[in-house]
Amino acid sequence: MPAVEIPQALLADCHVLGDLSTGALLLNRNAALPWFILVPETRLFDVLDLPHDHRDAVLADCARVSDFIKNVLGYDKVNFAGLGNVVPQMHLHIIGRREGDACWPQPVWGNLPAGEPYERQQLVEWQDGLAKMAGLSPAPL
């Protein structure tokens, strides 16, 4: 698959973890919550506009990341959204949530307090786990 061009606004806020079958997987730098972003390989803006097979593949990648959040990281809720109001390129948010987290019960947008950054070792461990569970091809950190 060709490399996805990731918008600078996302690169400023995220670590690039690597590639899944349908696009690049990012992780928000704020370690207060596991906030993953999938940037699918497409020129379309909205996930619902993707051809059926491509949409199914993108959603399957998102579901594998959700499984990682729930089964490995221990979160009981995953928020999923594709907004694109600030960054128009299609990108899908997959966010681990649980009662008492940094902005519970509010949405993360505009409510996430500044948090500590991820340690490199944690990023490597998550890359390894996502490689096993979701087929991630890790990027250099």
Q: Is residue 48 part of a domain?
A: yes
pLDDT at 3: 65
**pTM, to two decimals:** 0.96
Distance CA 119, CA 112 (A): 19
Q: Is residue 34 part of a domain?
A: yes
List Cα–Cα distances, 8 to 3, 14, 79, in angstroms.
15, 10, 24
Average pLDDT score, the chain: 95
Q: Tally the domains of the chain.
A: 1
Look up the domain containing 31 and give its range.
8-138
For 31-85, the pLDDT digits (tens) are: 999 999 999 999 999 999 999 999 999 999 999 999 999 999 999 999 999 988 8
Distance CA 31, CA 118 (A): 5
Predicted confidence (pLDDT) at residue 104 exceeds the cutoff of 60: yes
Q: Is residue 2 part of a domain?
A: no
pLDDT at 4: 76
CATH number at residue 39: 3.30.428.10
Across residues 22-36, what is the average pLDDT? 97
Q: Is residue 3 part of a domain?
A: no
